[in-house]
Structure 1
Amino acid sequence: MTRLLDHPILGKLPERKAISFQFDGKKYQAYENETIAAALLANGVRTLRVHEVSGKPRGIYCNIGHCLECRVTVNGQPNIRACLTVVKRGMVVESGKQLPNAIKRMEDDNE
């Protein structure tokens, strides 16, 4: 895992308890009060969902809750922002799934 443990301005991170959670069926480690996005990034996970139309991978972009690129499903609830949601012990997180393309569906309906 890669985390900043000693920042030149903020100093050393306080000791925090390690907790486990799942992402797409795989077990990962996070620390208390860490966001899903930070925990996944520290564990080398870069893709959190795929684009609804193109299917291209999407990940953490703004990391402040504005862009919605980091949407995941948490404990069955879709469209949760990973950058704003704190990891809880035993949390089950799934990558954002590609939604059906509404334009393609409309074209199919008109044929």
Structure 2
Amino acid sequence: MDKLFIELVSSSHKKFHWKFGSEEPHIEVGIGIYVLMLEKLQKLQNKSCQIIEKLNKNRLNRQLTNESGEDMTLYWFLLRKVLEHEIYHRGQIAAYLKVLKGESDRHSLQVN
């Protein structure tokens, strides 16, 4: 997500391909790989924040086109793709953590 955003803002490319998931097999992740992943994500987040702080009206109104031929501005891409996608994953993580902590049983609906 961050890589796509950075590429779109840093280049003159107007077309992008929104890809969900990965074809890569799931792997066991040890603490070393986890720490490297966190460092990489932190760097990408910092770079994205720096770019967003410098965006002006002209850059935000830049037209982009997705793989389906849908046109949108960079501003709309930020709201609908970047922000909405991050909120979606935050919800996934919150739900998963509640299940791990056993909180899902407290608020479950009873069906008669």
TM-score w.r.t. length of structure 1:
0.23
> Is the radius of gyration larger for structure 1 or structure 2?
2
More strand by share: 1
Q: Which has the higher helix share?
A: 2
TM-score relative to the length of structure 2: 0.23
